[in-house]
Structure 1
Amino acid sequence: MADPATYRPAPGTIPVEPGVYKFRDVHGRVVYVGKAKSLRSRLNSYFADIASLHPRTRQMVTTAASVEWTVVSTEVEALQLEYNWIKEFDPRFNVRYRDDKSYPVLAVTLDEEFPRLFVYRGARRKGVRYFGPYAHAWAIRETLDLLLRVFPARTCSNGVFKRHNQIGRPCLLGYIDKCSAPCVGRVTPGQHRDIVDDFCDFLAGRTDKMVKQLERRMHDASDDLDFELAARLRDDVRALRRAMEKQAVVLGTGTDADVIAFATDELEVAVQIFHVRDGRVRGQRGWVVDKSGDAVDVAGTGGELAALVEQFLTQFYGEEAAVAGQTPDGQSGSAVPREVLVPELPTDVDEVQEWLAALRGAAVRVRVPQRGDKKALAETVRRNAAEALAQHKLKRAGDLTSRSAALQDIQDALELDSAPLRIECVDISHVQGTDVVASLVVFEDGLARKSEYRHFAIREAAGDGRSDDVGSIAEVTRRRFHRLRKDREEVAAELDGEPVPDADAPGDGAADGNGLPLDEAPTSRPGIDPQTGRPRRFAYPPNLYVVDGGAPQVAAAAEVLDDMGITDVAVIGLAKRLEEVWVPGEPDPVILPRNSEALFLLQRVRDEAHRFAITYHRSKRSRRMTASALDSIRGLGDARRTALVTHFGSVAKLREATVEQITEVPGIGVATAKAVLAVLNEQDAR
């Protein structure tokens, strides 16, 4: 734990201009990003009496080892630079309003001849119209099911559409009149598009006109004594009214606004946002995150809530603009509404409005509702936020308590200096010594961090082409900590004022979750990935390094760390047979109670490493077996084998192809195509 006085800038060296500042830890990682109207006033507040700081701020300044800043011309520039740095560095102590799910929307593919309606999650693309987001996918499907009887548009995938077009029969929805069956020509492309346009108009809020048209047609059919048609139209009107009830009008027609509310306690903050489009609530979202101490200690004259509002607006709408294919540099789009209703104005409200207007391409107003329907809706959103925080605290109490207990028990059982907040585990997978791979999984605060998982292809020993588990553990440990040592040397060189060496030496072969090399590309800054520009979090040192195995595996890993001079990482092994915990140099294992939270957490970590290793091993073995299925064909080299598998996607699909289809692959003639099919058919006969 660092003393902030050791890295406090000299008096008078901090500028008084507006700017953005970064706190870094001893490893060079950015742990906090903030902005200020006056850098000197804001940064001096961090180096006041440490006892007077908020606990989270106190933890941040004692974790940090240095501070740096960038001066900008205007506060709008500071706002944008702060957003960009938070997104780039993902600082540990900044509030991040995000969760592990993407919210569903209703998509309409207007760029196709026969537009399709479907539930969608992910990035937006051109030619597709989106309605939402919604809190639950089932809510969209329920509404869509109601509307399909009135707007029988296509909902099937392109594959299903093509298949029914070929067989000349519609799907079930076509038989029950919930699809106009364009696949078999019941409607023309123009007629189907008219149906889709009416559907879009209804969801866009032009509902009264649609209902009146159906009622008029119903009365006309009744006057013509066509009671069957009148009854069907009556049911359509009821379906539309039920769908409208799900999106009740809460504000005046034409209102385009987001209503935001907060509920906080000492450590966490809950946020709720209602998306109101054309007077109707089109979607609702919520988050519960750890509170940033900076919002408490250095919020300025605006107070804590004003600081929270500003943080949320910049992060949320910046992310929304990026998802919608926009950038925070001023390209227009619909991610930002005309009006944003908040419980308290941010301190720099004019700068925030200017930044949001640049995102939207039109004026945006941020204000506090004072009376009427908007204030009533804001109170409803506030109650939802308070309820969400209460439910979160009740739900998480058990999980948080158990995780804290597990980490504390591990610390006590292994006699560690501190709780192992970051645990890494290695597992080896192979079949009789072939296709040897390894996995490395990461748990932080007792939770899996899947974005930091890595896998390794183990170099097989010369001669018999095999590699033992002990040697594999040693190799993975050496390759994993080689990156850590290199980053520490780069940080030390930079702090001493020396040029940072390029990491352009031949890589160690470590691969990330996508199989990309970790150490083969040069880097210009310690811990920064040159391809993405983001921190290379894999270089973080673990508090506890777990290997899947007993005393021999643990001894191999500990020997590697001793040779590399790494003394601040604890190493243990977890043997599967009796779930024994082996410590280097100890003749007997540590036996944890069977019902202890510590053993349960270590088992979860070990099992996750085993699952990840098995997954990678199967994919590698599958690729090898796919290639070997074509190895025996004379005259078919590596390039043409790869071209065949790439063209058809798999050997199974290649086996089903005809000679004519195979000859469509560049470089494959009729004779070679026949030879390929002959070999594959012979393998099937076996």
Structure 2
Amino acid sequence: MKDTKIIKNDILQILSHLPGKSGVYLFKDEEDRIIYVGKAKNLNSRVRSYFKSRKSLSQTNPKAYYFSEKINGIDYIVTDSEVEAFILEINLIKKYRPKFNSSFRDDKSYPFIAITEDDEFPQFFITRNKKIKGARYFGPYTNVSDLKETVEYIGKLFRLRDCKKAKPGKTGNTPCLNYHMKLCSGPCIGKISKDEYRENIRLIIAILSGRNESVVAGLEKQMMAFSHSREFEKALETKNKIDFIKGLNNEQKIYINSERSWDFIGFCLSDSFASANIFMYRNGEFAGFSNFILESFEDLGREEILADFIVKYYENISNMPSKIYIPFPAEGEKSIIEFFMKTKNKKLSIRIPQSGEKKKIMDMVLNNCRLFADKKKFEKQSNHDKTYNDLIELQKKLTLSNIPRRIECYDVSNLRESFAVGAMVVFKDGYPLKNNYRHFKIKTVRGQDDFAMLQEILERRLSYLKKSKISIDESFYQRPDLIIIDGGKGQLASAGEVMEKNGFEKSIDLISIAKKEEIIFGDRYPEGIKLNKDTGSMRLVIRLRDEAHRFALQYHRKIRDKNMVFSFFDSVRGIGEKKKTILYENFNSVDELKNQDIKTLLKLKGINYTDAKNIYDALHK
């Protein structure tokens, strides 16, 4: 690999020595971190395009304009062919995950099945995130309820683990409830070998790849062998697997035969962005569609952008369709076909429909693509631009390392020494991501020590980023760009200690905001700074802080009320722990319970007349 350090006044001389051959280039920043990976038919001309005049670049490629100033080094690798460049680029992006390599965003993503093949005991789950390191994907699937049912049944049938970390186990070396219910084979305690577990994964991959007949034939031989050796329980388990596979074919709960499927890809290129859509046909019938915004830091033509999209979208999908219809030729179609043959042993056909039914479908796809592009352009010109500008303004005013697209804000709430809880709220691109909010019960802190409570919840949250290589839709597995703490200097210092201990002090920005005066504290402004409250960026910070406070207080009150309800039941004759739980699940507070009559209480399963009367009498003394 050739490595060239850039001195700003010596760029032309360096560029003149780049070879005019196909290959892959890597841009690095001042800290020698890889920030972008790209491929090129001609390395010399492609890399030169990033160093046009600043004015020209700002007009033709605003994002390249933004990050070109960060380039401080160039690596490049020459390849023998475009196919090698395709493969190498994808592998390097997977390895380094450069921050500027966001290639496309799915506007309406269908779920996939992911199998984490790199894990010793692979995980098997549904996700909409196609960026999980070391995962193999099947899908997308358009019927979500059928998919969930199928995945749940496969997990039970093959007794797969459902713990989310790379290493199996939820609570140390103690098996979870799933093991005792015979829903998990217990890899965390050595109840199944790595080879046995991986054989089950191999069978699942074969099923999802459409190789059902060979799988059934192998399982039938296995079932007979178990029967002859009088291992009847194992024979029954194998028969259940056979019945499931045959049933999957008959019921078609999820479509798995990629040889009888095809996709239509639409494409539109506007002044500021490109958009694409995929209309999926399975077994000859329309199955669903997805829209995409394509983001690129390169000054490419539509043929090359389309080629890049095809490779990057399908390269992780194991059951990709046999035919892809496109509106115009993609650059290097032969190389794309060869790429999928080399990497997936998949014979792919890429076609441009010229007439008949397929041409009518393509016209419909293109029309929908244009409508989607117009919609996104309107959104961008109206609200999105304002939000993006607020985030950029926040980054500049607070001198943050990252554009704060994903922000997490933390607060703690307690009543003296009782009912201590913490809360995490999440905003993405300026909007609340409520399914990513999380509550914390304080477990290790005794007494009223807000600093220690804050450290506990941050330690628990960051442990997911530190220990796991998986980035799934689960909130804790997503890395924030900025963490905000509700508090002043003391809270900031406490949070900073945890960040440094876990190694995130450089990669994740950290600030705190004090109430009343709305002063922001950070490493670069330890004495605090005050921003104009009327600006969009400051309103966003205040909104996050207030939302975290609301969410923490709501949980605190819930825990407190639950405790009060349980405490009240201690004085009621005949009401034990089980009946307490039944009552609490139906009533949130003593006041709510007080408004019920005996007839209402009798409707609760597990509560008899004597119980209802005792409760009513105790409430109305």
Q: TM-score, normalized by length of structure 1?
A: 0.50
| Partner Cα separation in structure 2 for residue 533 and residue 7 of structure 1 | 37
Question: Counterpart of 2:99?
Answer: 92
Map 1:613-632 onto structure 2 (within 5 A). Answer: none
Aligned-pair distance for 1:263? 1.5
Aligned-pair distance for 1:12? 6.1
Confirm or deny: 8 A CA contact 1:421 1:444 kept in the other structure: no
Confirm or deny: 8 A CA contact 1:256 1:278 kept in the other structure: yes
Confirm or deny: 8 A CA contact 1:470 1:556 kept in the other structure: yes
Question: Counterpart of 2:77?
Answer: 70
Confirm or deny: 8 A CA contact 2:108 2:291 kept in the other structure: no
Q: Report whether the alignment pairs 1:549 with 2:546.
A: no
Q: Report whether the alignment pairs 1:317 with 2:317.
A: no
Identical aligned residues as a percent = 26
Question: Counterpart of 2:267?
Answer: 262
Confirm or deny: 8 A CA contact 1:261 1:342 kept in the other structure: yes
Map 1:223-622 onto structure 2 (within 5 A). Answer: 256-289=261-294, 291-294=295-298, 297=299, 299=300, 304-321=301-318, 334-337=319-322, 339-358=323-342, 361-395=345-379, 397-404=381-388, 406-407=390-391, 416=398, 421-422=403-404, 425-429=409-413, 432-433=416-417, 445-446=429-430, 465-466=446-447, 468-470=449-451, 510-512=459-461, 515-516=463-464, 518=466, 546-550=484-488, 553=491, 571-575=511-515, 580-581=518-519, 592-593=533-534, 597-598=536-537, 600-606=539-545, 609=548
| Partner Cα separation in structure 2 for residue 346 and residue 155 of structure 1 | 36
Give the 3 Å change call, closer, same or farther, for CA 58–608 of structure 1 in structure 2.
same
Give the 3 Å change call, closer, same or farther, for CA 271–570 of structure 1 in structure 2.
same
Q: 1:24 aligns with which of 17, 22, 28?
A: 28
Confirm or deny: 8 A CA contact 1:258 1:340 kept in the other structure: yes
| Partner Cα separation in structure 2 for residue 588 and residue 354 of structure 1 | 57
| Partner Cα separation in structure 1 for residue 347 and residue 389 of structure 2 | 51
| Partner Cα separation in structure 2 for residue 156 and residue 574 of structure 1 | 46
What RMSD, in angstroms, separates the aligned Cα atoms of the two structures?
A: 5.9
Aligned-pair distance for 1:607? 5.0
Give the 3 Å change call, closer, same or farther, for CA 561–258 of structure 1 in structure 2.
closer
Give the 3 Å change call, closer, same or farther, for CA 613–52 of structure 1 in structure 2.
same
Query: How many residues are paired up?
Result: 439
Question: Higher mean Cα deviation, 578-587 or 275-284?
Answer: 578-587
Confirm or deny: 8 A CA contact 1:436 1:460 kept in the other structure: no
Aligned-pair distance for 1:267? 2.2
Give the 3 Å change call, closer, same or farther, for CA 390–101 of structure 1 in structure 2.
closer
Confirm or deny: 8 A CA contact 1:454 1:512 kept in the other structure: no
Question: Counterpart of 1:45?
Answer: 49
Question: SS in structure 1 opposite 2:106?
Answer: coil
| Partner Cα separation in structure 1 for residue 478 and residue 260 of structure 2 | 49
Confirm or deny: 8 A CA contact 2:465 2:477 kept in the other structure: no
Q: Report whether the alignment pairs 1:103 with 2:100.
A: no
Question: SS in structure 2 opposite 1:10?
Answer: helix
Offset from partner CA, 1:581-638 (integer Å, 9 cap, x none): 4567779976725xx64454224422565588789999999xxxxxxxxxxxxxxxxx
Question: Counterpart of 1:133?
Answer: 141
Aligned-pair distance for 1:426? 3.9
Give the 3 Å change call, closer, same or farther, for CA 194–317 of structure 1 in structure 2.
closer
The one-letter code of the counterpart of 2:486 is D
| Partner Cα separation in structure 2 for residue 401 and residue 545 of structure 1 | 23
Structure 1 alignment gaps of length 5 or more: 107-119, 125-129, 142-152, 159-188, 206-253, 322-333, 481-509, 522-528, 622-650, 657-684
Question: Counterpart of 2:86?
Answer: 79
The one-letter code of the counterpart of 2:545 is R
Offset from partner CA, 1:472-526 (integer Å, 9 cap, x none): 66x68xx98xxxxxxxxxxxxxxxxxxxxxxxxxxxxx3446x4473xx8xxxxx
The one-letter code of the counterpart of 1:19 is G
Confirm or deny: 8 A CA contact 1:407 1:419 kept in the other structure: no
Aligned-pair distance for 1:262? 0.9
Question: SS in structure 1 opposite 2:277?
Answer: strand
Structure 2 alignment gaps of length 5 or more: 1-5, 114-125, 131-137, 155-239, 561-576, 583-614, 616-621
Offset from partner CA, 1:305-339 (integer Å, 9 cap, x none): 11111111111111322xxxxxxxxxxxx3232x2
Aligned-pair distance for 1:81? 1.8
Aligned-pair distance for 1:383? 0.5
Question: Counterpart of 2:609?
Answer: none
The one-letter code of the counterpart of 1:314 is V
Question: SS in structure 2 opposite 1:283?
Answer: strand
| Partner Cα separation in structure 2 for residue 569 and residue 121 of structure 1 | 28
The one-letter code of the counterpart of 1:335 is M
Question: SS in structure 2 opposite 1:82?
Answer: helix
| Partner Cα separation in structure 2 for residue 201 and residue 459 of structure 1 | 44
Confirm or deny: 8 A CA contact 2:278 2:290 kept in the other structure: yes
Aligned-pair distance for 1:62? 1.5
Offset from partner CA, 1:393-442 (integer Å, 9 cap, x none): 33455441442464477589xx6568983256443355645797767777
